[in-house]
Amino acid sequence: MITPMASESHLPLPPTAPAVPLPRVPGPKLQPFTLTGHAEIDFLEFVGAGEDRDFKVWKVNIDGRGPYALKMFLFRTWQTLSKTSGKYAEARLAKPEFYVDYLTPFSCECRAYGRLKQDEREDLAVKSHGYLLLTQEQEVEVTLAMGVDDEQLDEPDSLLDEPDSHLNGNNFWCRSEQHRGHPIYAIVKEFIPSGLGHFSQPQVSQLWSEVEELHKLGILVRDLHVRNYMNGKLVDFSRAWTMYHPCLDINPDSLDWLRVEDPQELLEAISSWQENTPLDSPPDIPPDLELCAGWYGGEGEKGADPSQYDWRKWEEDLVAADTFIEQDLYRSADDQEESD
């Protein structure tokens, strides 16, 4: 009989200096922005927040250089991750931290940007420079700068030395008890002024070909909305699945229905942009995009399959990577039956 996962189980803390690439599972990873994963940050201007409460973005200078866009991620419990994106995996994952490594917005972005770096295709999205972990002082500074009262700071156990407090997720950064002691995770990106817009009419014809290139690289974006583009480049991979990924290693028929969402969302994004943009003529929409978006389970165009990407070619220890996938990542069938 297995022991059920504790509802408030604490997730492993991030590594101490020197920082290591994240996430700590086989597959693509993002390097730290500095050797320690920490830096001096000058918060210049609040840029915006994710509509799904995934992140907050600030224009910043870092170690006297910039400006950069600093994307800071809110916390998600592993239970929520297992019930949302995790439901697409064909078997339950063996440990809570595996849901974090594959499904949090931060990990999704780390894996996607890591793949672009591996394949030297960083031109397919706004450039990422690496990740940072905010210090407690930096977290307090940016939280107060966003108008939060100092009595409502997110983690009083570490920020205000009140160890008996209980973290329930109903706070500014959505920390739960399982995140106790964890810093804010952030990704440093190229800063693009908002005045450049989401994309222009000449860029529309290239959007689908670039998404298809992402699919060929094993990246299913899963969030192709107008707001996720700046100056014709994707700025958001917080929902992306990058091979190897447990939600891509599934029944091909099930995956087909998930794959079609990318072209459908992109077509809707172009339509939405067109409705709100004065144009002399309709944008040039690639026929392949319309064909892929119109696939409904029958014969027809589906585009590149991200699950077919050869992710193993980048693994330094292929035996260890395969062992992790085959023996460690998923719970056994007996464990799953006993837990139901």
Q: pTM, whole model, 2 decimals?
A: 0.91
Q: Which two tokens stand for residue 335?
A: 């464990």
The overall average pLDDT reported for the chain is 89
Q: What is the pLDDT of residue 4?
A: 37
Please give the pLDDT value at position 294.
87
**C-alpha span between 202 and 251 (Å, rounded):** 38
pLDDT at residue 339, rounded to an integer: 53
User: What pLDDT is attached to residue 155?
Assistant: 55
- Conformational region of residue 234, where left means phi above 0, alpha means psi within -120 to 50, and beta covers everything else: beta
**297 Rama class: left (phi>0) / alpha (psi -120 to 50) / beta:** left
Angle at 229 between CA 225 and CA 234, to 5 degrees: 100
What is the per-residue pLDDT for 14? 80
pLDDT digits (tens, 9 = 90+) for 293-304: 988 776 668 889
User: Shortest CA distance to 45 belongs to which of 58, 56, 61, 64?
Assistant: 58
Residue type, 94: A
**Is 28 exposed, middle or buried, given 0-12, 13-18 or 19+ CB atoms closer than 10 A?**
buried
Alpha carbon distance, N-terminus to C-terminus of the chain: 12
DSSP labels for 200-255?
-HHHHHHHHHHHHHHHHTTEE-----GGGEETTEE---TT-EESS-TTTSS-HHHH
What is the distance between the alpha carbons of residues 183 and 247, in angstroms, rounded to a whole number?
A: 27
Per-residue DSSP letter, 75: P
- The pLDDT of residue 296 is 77
Residue ranges of the chain whose pLDDT lies below 50: 1-7, 156-163, 340
For residue 327, what is the DSSP state?
Answer: I
